[in-house]
Structure 1
Amino acid sequence: MAFVPAPNYQCAYNPPIPYTTLIAGGLRPGMAVCIQAILPSKCNRFAINFATGEDESSDIALHMNARYDGRDRVVFNTRQGDVWGEEEMKKEMPFKSGKPFVAMFEVTPNNYLVSASGERFYEFGHRIPLCQVQWLQVTGDITVQALSIMGSGPAVKGNLVMSAAQAPLPPMLGPPFINPAVPFHASIRGGMFPKRTVVVKGMVKSNAKSFGINLKAGFSNDIIFHLNPRLNKSTVIRNHCINGVWGEEEKDLAKNPFKQGEYFDVSVRSGVNNFKVFINGSHSFNYASRMANMQQVDTVEVEGDVKLLFVLI
């Protein structure tokens, strides 16, 4: 069972390159785009474009072009009416050949804030109005493992382009928490009513022993769902803790998808009386809820040996 993203959230896993996708509702301040990728050992160049159209001749509001030619650099530019603007260049190269990385683009009213694997890298001012930016393009010598487009909130729901599978799902409320510190704690507005989704994306530290993702009932501080990958034991524990008493651990899982030094994303979707858990885009398991009223599950926590890239609620 593949993960179906909720409105205000778009994601793709291992898409073919070149890859072009519509940005549902268009680009707006408060949105963010996260691209997890790896480069071949011999890389010439790759590009990520925020464009006004889907074809190659469309205007490009942000062109990020990493070039590997002995003078490794990252070039930023725009193109309007087939004419390129003035290049802005960053001579540091955070995207290494043969290495996985994450590029994050945060959209503000004034610019694009670009991060590389959690570190701020560049700011590129808007030259083309955001309201004209409708498409995202990825081209060149790059393998995209996961791509996420995060919206800014329910106010834009009427403009979203939704698939039939997305239509019954409540929208992600956003805005996303970008590169938040660990331990992480946030409220889930309205609670985990049926079909509500929480997405956590991060990287397991290279020396990690374990980390945890908890969904809690804030009024009692009970842990209704505890996801605990234990890297030193190669197990993924699922449990709950009610009135200070832990339940019986669930361990059965065909394959541990969490590896030291690797990226992951976990999507937890509430059912009527359970949680459906998707890891890296694939359904991994369900966990029965010990709480009759799922809306009382209103808090998410992340702790342990992990670096967070984003949390979307």
Structure 2
Amino acid sequence: MTFVAPPGYQPVYNPTIPYVGPIYGGLREGSSIYIQGSIPEDISRFRINLLCGQSESSDIALHFNPRFDGWDKVVFNTRQNNSWDSEDKIRRMPFSKGERFELVILITSEGYQIKVNGNDFHMFEHRLPVERVAGIMIDGDVSVQNINVIGVRQLIVGGMGGGMGGGYPGGNMGGGHPGGNMGGGYPGGNMGGGYPGGNMGGGYPGGNMGTGFPGSTLPGMGGQPVYNPPVPYQGMISGGLFPKRTIIIRGMLPYGSSRMAVNFVVSRNNDIAFHLNPRIRDGLVVRNSLIGGMWGNEERELNFNPFVEGQYFDMSIRCGNQRFKVFVNGQNLFDFSHRMHSFNEIDKLEIDGDVQISYIHF
């Protein structure tokens, strides 16, 4: 059984290039577009266009065009009424031939802040209203593993606020999710778009991010994504867990990995309500709980095992009234029934082991 994305959020896995697709709900200040992919050795150029419509002939609010032509540069521009405006040429190249990349396009009040592999690259000032953006096009010499739009404008559909972002896999989409090493701080701000607040902390410069937990030195996790946290990782869960709350964890298992663990913890007594323990060399994914100092019965049954050395994963853990539902790469991996009645007391996330984490988001 799968569940679909709320309005305004739908990650795209392994799209065919050239790709043209909608951005349901459009963009707003505080939205971000997160693209992971790789550059072939024989690249000439590729481009990413933010379209004021859903066809290639639409006006273009942002034209992002890396060119490997001996005079490596990245060209920025806009197009209105089929006429190109003046080019911004940045004579630096943030991409490397034959290498993976992570690109974040953050929409600010000034323009589009471009980050590549965690490093600020360029701010392209708005020339067209960002509210007009309705689609994205990618073509040229590039391979894309994932397109993820976070913090879209609020939609009201059947009385429910949409544009929540952050993590409902849309059906059986499969496909590995390249992680990579984002590095660098992530500029915060008031994300809006249906995100609850929260104190992110942890070295990530923020804006209007709420209060977090008094007396705690751990970063709190609210609506802001956390990029490239160190492992072992500990973070407070702002607001605790409640039905339908979902966490997204993206990362990769380097070659030589033995095991990793994800723990949902009650901080007041250090009970582990849910222990998720992929044992890579044994081909197992063990689930358990540690309550009152005693481990419970292990659960090991699996339909498939996505945790493999050298592979990326995109994991979604959804809390329900009776159980956790765990999806990896868009497919339901297993369910884990609650073993403590007060699962809403869970207030801390821990990640440990032989794993690189690129992204955490509630």
TM-score, with structure 2 as normaliser: 0.72
Query: Over residues 25-52 of structure 1, what are the superposed CA-to-partner deviations in whole Å (9 max), with x where a residue is unaligned?
Result: 3212222221222344533332222222
Matched, 1:96 2:127: no
Q: Assess, with a 3 A threshold, how the Cα gap between structure 1 residues 109 and 207 changes in structure 2: closer, same or farther.
A: farther
**Which residue of structure 2 aligns with residue 126 of structure 1?**
126
Specify which structure has the higher proportion of strand: 1
Does residue 113 of the first structure (1) align with residue 113 of the second (2)? yes
Deviations 1:128-185 (A, max 9, x none): 3322223222222333222211117xx93537479xxx8xxxx664232233444433
Runs of 4+ in structure 1 deviating by more than 6 angstroms, as ranges, are none
1:285 aligns with 2:283: no
Quick one: distance in 2 between partners of 1:47 and 1:2? 33
Q: 1:244 aligns with which of 289, 293, 302?
A: 293
Matches within 5 A, 1:144-183: 144-151=144-151, 156-158=154-156, 160=162, 173=196, 174-183=223-232
- Unaligned regions of 5+ residues in structure 2, if any? 169-193, 197-222
**Corresponding position: 1:197 with 2:197:** no
Unaligned runs of 5+ in 1: none
What secondary structure does 1:209 align onto? coil
After superposition, the Cα gap between the structure-2 partners of 1:305 and 1:130, relative to the gap in structure 1 and judged at 3 Å, is: farther
| Counterpart-to-counterpart distance in 1, 2:228 and 2:91 | 22
Q: Which residue of 2 aligns with 1:296?
A: 345
User: What's 1:20 paired with?
Assistant: 20
User: Match of 2:95, as an amino acid?
Assistant: P
8 Å contact from structure 1 (residues 7, 172) kept in 2: no
1:30 is matched with 30
Q: Does 1:75 align with 2:75?
A: yes
Work out the CA distance in 1 between the residues paired with 2:84 and 2:318: 46
Q: CA RMSD in A?
A: 3.0
Query: Once structures 1 and 2 are overlaid, which stretch shifts more, 248-257 or 22-31?
Result: 248-257
**What is the deviation of 1:108?**
2.5
Q: Deviations over 1:70-101 (max 9, x none)?
A: 4444333322332232223243242433x433
| Native 8 Å contact 1:215 1:226 kept in 2 | yes
**Which range is displaced more, 229-238 or 263-272?**
229-238
Q: Is the 8 A contact 2:6 2:162 kept in 1?
A: no
Q: Deviation of residue 11 (structure 1)?
A: 0.9
SS in 1 for 2:351: strand
Task: Tell me the secondary structure at the aligned position of residue 154 of structure 2.
Answer: helix
1:175/1:22 CA distance change after superposition, 3 Å: farther
Question: Would the alpha carbon gap of residues 44 and 270 (structure 1) be closer, same or farther in structure 2, given more than 3 Å must change?
Answer: same
Match of 2:275 in 1: 226
Q: Which residue of structure 2 lines up, in the alignment, with residue 143 of structure 1?
A: 143
In 1: Cα distance, 2:7 partner to 2:270 partner: 29
Secondary structure of residue in 1 paired with 2:138:
strand
Give distance in 2, aligned partners of 1:73 and 1:231.
Answer: 41
Shift of 1:8: 5.7
User: Is 1:86 paired with 2:87?
Assistant: yes
TM-superposed CA distance for 1:199, in Å, is 0.8
Larger RCO (CA under 8 A, 6+ residues apart): 1
Counting aligned pairs with the same residue, the percent is 41
1:282-312, Cα deviation, whole Å (9 max, x unpaired): 1111112212243333333333333333222
**d(CA) in 1 for partners of 2:121, 2:232:** 24
Could you say if the C-alpha distance between residues 83 and 268 of structure 1 is closer, same or farther in structure 2, counting changes exceeding 3 Å? Answer: same
Q: Secondary structure at the match of 2:332?
A: strand
Tell me, in whole angstroms, the C-alpha distance in 2 between the residues paired with 1:2 and 1:229. Answer: 22
Number of the residue aligned with 1:312: 361
Tell me the equivalent position of 1:214.
263
For residues 230 and 116 of structure 1, the distance between their equivalents in structure 2, rounded to whole angstroms, comes to 32
Aligned to 1:50: 50
Shift of 1:254: 4.7
What is the CA–CA distance in structure 2 between the aligned matches of 1:229 and 1:119, rounded to whole Å? Answer: 31
Q: Distance in 2 between matches of 1:228 and 1:72?
A: 45
- For 2:219, the equivalent position in structure 1 comes to none
Query: Which amino acid counterpart does residue 156 of structure 1 have in structure 2?
Result: Q
Conserved? CA contact 1:21–1:137, under 8 Å: yes
Q: Which moved more, 1:286-295 or 1:200-209?
A: 200-209
Output the CA distance in 1 between the equivalents of 2:80 and 2:261.
Answer: 47
| Residue aligned with 2:131, SS | helix
Residues of 1 paired with 2:357 and 2:336: CA distance? 23
CA distance in structure 1 between the aligned counterparts of 2:146 and 2:331, rounded to whole angstroms:
12
